[in-house]
Amino acid sequence: MDNLKTAIVGCGGVARVHAHAINDNTDAQLVATVDIIEQRAQRYAQKYGVEGCKPYTDYKEMLKDPTIDVVHVTAPHYLHAPMVIDALAAGKHVLTEKPLAISVEQAKDMIAAGQKSNKLFGVILQNRYNLASCEAKKVIDEGKLGKILGARAFITWYRKEEYYKDSNWKGTWDKEGGGVLIDQAIHTIDLMQWLIGDIDWVKGNIANHFHPYIEVEDVAEALIQFKNGARGLLYATNFYSYDADIILEIHGENGKIFIEKDKARIKIGDEIYTVEESQEVKEGKSYWGSSHATQIADFYNDVKNAKPHWIGPKEAKASLDIVLAIYKSKGQEIKLPLE
Ligand SMILES: NC(=O)c1ccc[n+]([C@@H]2O[C@H](COP(=O)([O-])OP(=O)(O)OC[C@H]3O[C@@H](n4cnc5c(N)ncnc54)[C@H](O)[C@@H]3O)[C@@H](O)[C@H]2O)c1
């Protein structure tokens, strides 16, 4: 199955990372671009599309083109569910950006739509492909860390006023679905749960300390109680003085894994070694990392081999559940998974 034909829906900030990854790492062709702002769809079509790449303002019109095989959803959070469900119903393979959705109901509808379709449905959680994350997963799964006792994550970034003022969806409950947790911290939350395992309950609090012009939280703290007994602590904010490197530590009875941005320092007994990303971030912001292209190439390989993509909607619901449970918690224990 050569030259898969691809469309991108939502031609804003992150879409260029997808466009580059499609062009540089797959033999797919970008044949359609969609944005409600016509000039954006046109600019993306001209800059990244093949000759004849068609710009649209209505994704439902694009879905009528039977030659399009794969749809990338890079639109605001509240649109992921309807766009993914419509694209699967139209017989397209779909790769959507994180978060999976903004509510449990949406997530469940998306899982059902994926089960009904015979097409692939993947969710971008690209940091699982970082070398540091892969090494951490291997060490833990091989049992080298022993029993996992605890984990701590610190996400201390900075989002200035313009970040929210220049967007008609960021900073809102109905369109972004939350703030620092659902947008920025979800990557680290996902890594923590992927590395450690199933969760029993979550307890946390959110607040808005520094961004009075938005509805959602700019700070959150939580305790994540894993079924294997490990205790995960989380602190996330986007009112620090700069985008500091994210820290995730996993503590086991035999040692520690300390991930700082995309570098892991691993200590098992007396042995210490580091694993570091060798690729530079070529497209997009440095804190998005360099693994979008790796996950996108992997997704296209799966499409070609008719093999389900391993980060599907059920996988992606795990981190969404943690985020939604912290929103719900107000200091009370919330059992997971959310139903
Ligand atoms: N994985 C990562 O590291 C990463 C990084 C950045 C953003 N993201 C995710 O990517 C998604 C997009 O984020 P962004 O920062 O690029 O947002 P953005 O606001 O820059 O871009 C979104 C685009 O979607 C368009 N749009 C809105 N409604 C539409 C509709 N009905 N039909 C078609 N287009 C529509 C907007 O006009 C805009 O151009 C979000 O889910 C975000 O969380 C992921």
**Model confidence over 34-52: pLDDT tens digits?**
999 999 999 999 999 999 9
- Cβ of residue 21 lying under 6 Å from some atom of ligand 1: no
Q: What pLDDT is recorded for position 285?
A: 73
179, 323, 136, 276 alpha-carbon torsion, rounded to 10°: -10
- What separation in Å is there between the alpha carbon of 333 and the centre of ligand 1? 32
What is the Å distance from ligand 1's center to 81 Cα? 13
Express each pLDDT in 125-153 by its tens digit.
999 999 999 999 999 999 999 999 999 99
> Is residue 11 lining ligand 1, measured as CB closer than 6 Å?
yes
Full-model pTM: 0.97
Look at ligand 1, atom 11, and give the residue with the nearest C-alpha. 74
Contact predicate 76/102, CB 8 Å: no
H/E stretch holding 55 reads strand 54-56
Ligand 1, atom nearest to 77 Cα: 41
pLDDT of residue 2: 65
- Concatenating the DSSP letter of every residue in 122-139 gives EE--GGGGSHHHHHHHHH
pLDDT given for residue 203 in this prediction: 98
Task: Give the Å distance between the CA of 139 and the centre of ligand 1.
Answer: 35
Neighbouring-strand partners of residue 274: 265
- Which ligand 1 atom is nearest residue 289's CA? 3
Q: Would you place residue 280 in the very low, low, confident or very high pLDDT band (cuts 50, 70, 90)?
A: low
Amino acid type, 231:
R
Q: Region 49-56: what's the mean pLDDT?
A: 98
Where would I find the H helices in 51-167? 59-63, 80-89, 104-116, 131-141, 161-165
**Pocket probe mutation, ligand 1, options 9, 97, 155, max atoms within 8 Å of Cβ:** 97
Pocket flag, ligand 1, residue 57 (CB < 6 Å): no
Give the model's confidence band at 1: pLDDT under 50 very low, under 70 low, under 90 confident, else very high.
low
- Does ligand 1 lie within 6 Å of residue 119's CB atom? no
Q: What is the residue-averaged pLDDT of the chain?
A: 96
pLDDT at 170: 98
The candidate with the shortest Cα–Cα distance to 81, out of 95, 64, 102, 63, is 102
Domains plus CATH for the chain? Answer: 5-126 (3.40.50.720), 129-277+311-335 (3.30.360.10)
Neighbours of 334 (CB within 10 A): 20
| Residue 192 structure tokens | 């923590």
Atom of ligand 1 nearest to the CA of 285: 5
Ligand 1 pocket residue status of 36, Cβ below 6 Å: yes
Cβ–ligand 1 distance for 37 under 6 Å, the answer yes
